[in-house]
């Protein structure tokens, strides 16, 4: 039987690499999927991704664990929402997360606090 675990991380340098490594080592996955376009794994394009995604990919590579990407190159912003609008919402979310760890952000009560902010800019259908 296969077990699938989702490890939610926060972008923008908010995920502690040591803690992420501890979680990965605790579960000892046979395969790791990261939020990176699969074709970008193993080349210079990986540098454009959040640092915790790069870290997880490198951890898998260094531990001889198969790693694949599952991201796609689409803009999920709502029509009329600019990059600046998105950045402003992310800053508001960062204020809400102040004092919480990246692990806390996976708790349902914290994601509920963030949902109204992401709903401002994200087109869920995309």
Q: Where are the domains of the chain?
A: 17-69, 83-121
DSSP secondary structure string for all residues of the chain: ----------TTTTS-HHHHHHHHHHH--SEEEESS-GGGTTSGGGGGS-HHHHHHHHHHHHTT-EEEE-------BPTT--HHHHHHHHHHHHHHHTT--TTGGGSHHHHHHHHHHHHHHB-TT-
- What pTM was estimated for this model as a whole? 0.77
Residue-wise pLDDT tens digits, 18-34: 999 999 999 999 999 99
Percentage with pLDDT > 90 across the chain: 63
Residue-wise pLDDT tens digits, 34-69: 999 999 999 999 999 999 999 999 999 999 999 999
């Amino acid at each position: 039987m296969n077990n699938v675990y989702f490890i939610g991380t926060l972008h923008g340098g908010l995920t502690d690499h040591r803690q992420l490594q501890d979680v990965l080592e605790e579960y000892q996955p046979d395969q790791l999927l990261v939020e990176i376009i699969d074709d970008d794994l193993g080349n210079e394009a990986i540098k454009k991704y959040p640092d915790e995604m790069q870290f997880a990919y490198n951890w898998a590579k260094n531990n001889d664990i198969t790693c694949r990407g599952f991201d796609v190159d689409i803009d999920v912003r709502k029509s009329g929402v600019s990059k600046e609008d998105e950045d402003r919402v992310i800053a508001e979310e960062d204020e809400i997360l102040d004092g919480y760890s990246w692990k806390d952000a996976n708790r349902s009560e914290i994601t509920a606090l963030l949902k109204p902010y992401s709903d401002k800019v994200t087109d869920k259908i995309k």
